Amino acid sequence: MPVLVAGSIATDHLMHFPGKFSDQLLADQLHKVSLSFLVDELVVRRGGVAPNICYGMAQLGGSPVLIGAVGSDFDEYRGWLEKSGVDCKHVHVSATQHTARFVCTTDTEMCQIGSFYAGAMGEAVDIEIEPIWNATGADLAVISAYDPAAMVKHSSECRDKGLRFVADPSQQITRMDGEALRGLIEGADLLFTNDYEKSLLESKTGLSETEIMAQVGVRITTLGSKGVEIVGRDLERVHVPVAKERSKADPTGVGDAFRAGFLTAREWGLSWERAAQVGSLLATMVLETVGTQEYAVVRDDFAARLSESYGDDCAVEVLPHLP
């Protein structure tokens, strides 16, 4: 079944300065800084929470539907996603704004100067979920991080219309106040956070762990190198360790890939444990590559790696579902 994935859509423009920013900054002149850095490298990466999740789902043979707001400069990115198996028909295209963009320069000391342009993302609040749900035959909507007002609106619409949804506030927890966060998570089938975000969410909402569990069906908490924990009202605690890695390249997008694998495996009808194992392996594959959408799922290799990390029974159960 199709899964709607709403969230940020952006491109990352990453540059490298072959020197140290600190050598160019004068302590007594910081009030009038005016600098230009000649860079020796520019890499443009496809990014954004929603496309990252959609790409991972499509790699596993899922049917993701991308929801978000972009500018007219989205055409090349759209082509890449559609070629990868992502439905982009329902993406809102702004008549005036560009697609969100992160521009960052890194020096030899790994210090960074960056700017994030939200652009068209601010128009996401105009998107309605129900018409897309009906048009695609979806059975789940994922509300991931982007415009906070849009996130709260989408959750409210799903509750009012009786649509199953996932609350995935991630980095927007720091931006949203307690009232907005309570409105985002109430009635969610699933709630995703990492362990720090879990504590921050409880602090900002004023709700205890027990009170949050009364608001959602199942809570999935990623624990970094310690794996993932899954708890629910009618579910015994599940803990799954991380999948074995072959190398470490870049952690960007690891959480998005976990969500993609986890949600796709649940759509297949697999258990919570199996879903977390599939998600963990997909996350590890992103860790091993530079870029959030630069990996590929190869059926036999993916099954072999599941076997290596979680045993032959896991591989046998997952293999029939892989494209």
Token pair belonging to 260 = 């993609």
For tokens 């608001």, what's the residue?
Answer: 215
Tokens of 23: 């050598």
| Contact (Cβ atoms closer than 8 angstroms) between residue 151 and residue 142 | no
Residues near 37 by beta carbon (within 8 Å), at least 6 away in sequence: 17, 19, 21, 24, 105
* Strands 92-93 vs 235-240: parallel, antiparallel or unpaired: unpaired
Q: For residues 110, 114, 118 and 119, what is the CA-based torsion angle, rounded to 10 degrees? A: -130
Interatomic CA distance for residues 217 and 200, integer angstroms:
19
- Give the rounded distance of the alpha carbon of 245 from its chain centre: 20
DSSP 253: T
Catalytic positions are 256
Phi, psi of 5 (to 5 degrees): -125, 105
DSSP 56-124: HHHHTT--EEEE-EE-GGGHHHHHHHHHTT-B-TT-EE-SS-PPEEEEEEE-TTS-EEEEEE-GGGGGG
Q: DSSP secondary-structure letter at 242?
A: P
